[in-house]
Structure 1
Amino acid sequence: RPGKEPEVDLPYYHPRAPSAEVEMTAYVLLAALKTEPAPSQEELSFSSLIAKWISSQQNPNGGFSSTQDTVVALQALSQYGAVTYAKSGAASKVTLRSGGEFQQDFQVDATNRLLLQRVPLPQVPGEYSTEVSGEGCVYLQTSLRYNVQPMQEDAPFTLHVSTIPETCADSKAHKVFDIGINVSYTGERNGSNMVIVDVKMLSGFIPLKSSVRKLERHPIIERTELSTNHVLVYLEK
């Protein structure tokens, strides 16, 4: 389907198709495999291209973009595997090499054809090559996991919270104390729109209604709301 490419500029990032495209393509594969009495060789060749594309959209955990497309895609791949299954004892050997001394061999035969085999790559980034010999079908996937620090943005508000008194040295403060909240708009405009300040009480404390009602005398405070352990303060700007 026509659409915009995802606006992601990350190293090694391979954009995946939207969930709807994976699901629709999986339905096409299921339909192609339903030919009675059995799919022809030409239809199986066509189906193999679809299965290859669906496999390329699979994430490192075995799923896809959503629950819906994962269920349909796995059903289609399973159906494709059932149709193309052969009981022959053909075996394949996959050799993974790097430019250095690293080499890893994977043997795939009838005894372990459904077993996941994996190895960590010793150096990333690096150049690796694979060589496959023998007969049969092998699904090879590489996955790279890394963290990207989020961009730091200037917050439009500053918030400072303190207790009065600041310490619980006074025995009275063990039962009753004030919460001081200083909120300032620091954005690019002259003022903000309506702001809601949500104050959650410390464990074991509840807001004193009379002290909260006094807040409404302030000219920019539109109203307040109370619950068991929350105080909501609505500021006009």
Structure 2
Amino acid sequence: GSVHWQRPGKEPEADLPYHRYRAPSAEVEMTAYVLLAHLTTQPAPSQEELSFASLIAKWIIGQQNPSGGFSSTQDTVVALQALSRYGAVTYAKSGAASKVTLRSGGDFQQDFQVDPTNRLLLQRVALPQVPGEYSTEVSGEGCVYLQTSLRYNVQPTQEDAPFMLHVYTIPETCVDSKAHKVFDIGINVSYTGERNSSNMVIVDVKMLSGFIP
């Protein structure tokens, strides 16, 4: 149900749970330029071109992140320009309103009203249960953009560090008034990697506020 362009030799999309593949920046930018080309024909895009443009816009919208951007600054600028142009070309001035109803398999239901007074306003709601099955129903006239975003944390894999760093003070505790003003800092750095040599290593030591070396 969507159309996009990609570079040859591209790897297949990852099929992971709760993971939606995001295209590289170059492909988003490439597809956005094609959409702009379809929408800037003179004197005006035909109905066939608008129908084809809707398939392109659908793919671009699917690549948009929850913050409204894309992979990089450059493709974000071009993609938003293309989507803005698409919205301007397909805009129909109408006083009719649209109603969007979001339901779950349980008793959850949320209604959104979209009319000319709030058509540019972001409306959102937190889903009560994730994962879960939800359905949307749209009635009325107009165009609405629905987006779901899922955020979660992944524990990073623990890797063996190639260096060992040990920092200590002499004395270790402030046993007298002199230690509050003058003390030594000991730094031990050891290379524990698999290579025979670590090559160049830089140790950057910053002083505590109020102290000088």
TM-score by length of 2: 0.86
* CA deviation after TM superposition for structure 1 residue 169, in Å: 3.2
Query: What's the secondary structure of 2:204's corresponding residue?
Result: strand
Q: Over aligned residue pairs, what C-alpha RMSD do you find?
A: 2.2
1:50-84 alpha-carbon deviations (Å, 9 max, x no partner) = 11111111111111111111111111111111111
Distance 1:172 1:8, change over 3 A: farther
Question: How far apart are residue 175 of structure 1 and its match?
Answer: 4.5
> Could you tell me which residue of structure 2 aligns to residue 231 of structure 1?
none
Residues 63 and 149 of structure 1, relative CA distance in 2, 3 Å threshold = same
> Could you tell me how far apart the structure 2 residues matched to 1:121 and 1:33 are?
36
Unaligned 5+ runs, structure 2: 1-6
CA distance in 2, matches of 1:7, 1:98: 29
Shift of 1:111: 2.4
Q: Relative to structure 2, which stretch is displaced further, 141-150 or 170-179? A: 170-179
Contact 2:13 2:21 in 1 (8 A): no
Provide, for residues 149-196 of structure 1, a one-character-per-residue CA deviation record: whole Å limited to 9, x for no partner.
Answer: 211112222221112222333444444432222222333345533333
TM-score (norm 1): 0.78
2:97–2:142 Cα contact (<8 Å) kept:
yes
Q: 1:27 to 1:9 in 2, by over 3 A?
A: closer
Contact kept in structure 2, 1:6 and 1:15, CA below 8 Å: no
Q: How does 1:41-56 map to 2 (within 5 A)?
A: 41-56=47-62
Partner secondary structure for residue 57 of structure 2: helix
Q: Report the Cα offset of residue 125 of structure 1.
A: 0.8
Gapped regions of structure 1 (runs ≥ 5): 206-237
Partner residue of 1:39 out of 45, 51, 54: 45
Q: 2-side partners of 1:157 and 1:100: how far apart? A: 53
Q: How much has 1:41 moved relative to structure 2?
A: 0.5
Q: CA–CA distance in 2 between the matches of 1:85 and 1:24?
A: 24
Query: Secondary structure, in 3 states, of the residue corresponding to 1:116?
Result: coil
Structure 1: distance between partners of 2:149 and 2:98: 22
Question: Alignment identity in percent?
Answer: 90
Deviates more, 1:73-82 or 1:181-190: 181-190
Rg (Cα) greater in structure = 1
Contact 1:94 / 1:133 at 8 angstroms: preserved in 2? yes
Q: Distance in 2 between matches of 1:118 and 1:57?
A: 19
When residues 139 and 184 of structure 1 are mapped into structure 2, their CA distance, relative to the original with a 3 A threshold, is same
User: Contact 2:100/2:136 (CA < 8 Å) preserved in 1?
Assistant: yes
**TM-superposed deviation, 1:26:** 1.3
**SS of alignment partner, residue 180 of structure 1:** strand
Tell whether 2:112 aligns with 1:111: no
Higher deviation after alignment, 187-196 or 38-47: 187-196
1:62-109 deviation line (CA, Å, top 9, x unaligned): 111111111111111111111111112233222111111111122222
The Cα offsets for residues 99-153 of structure 1, whole Å up to 9 and x where unpaired, read as 1111112222222222211111000111111122222211110001111121111
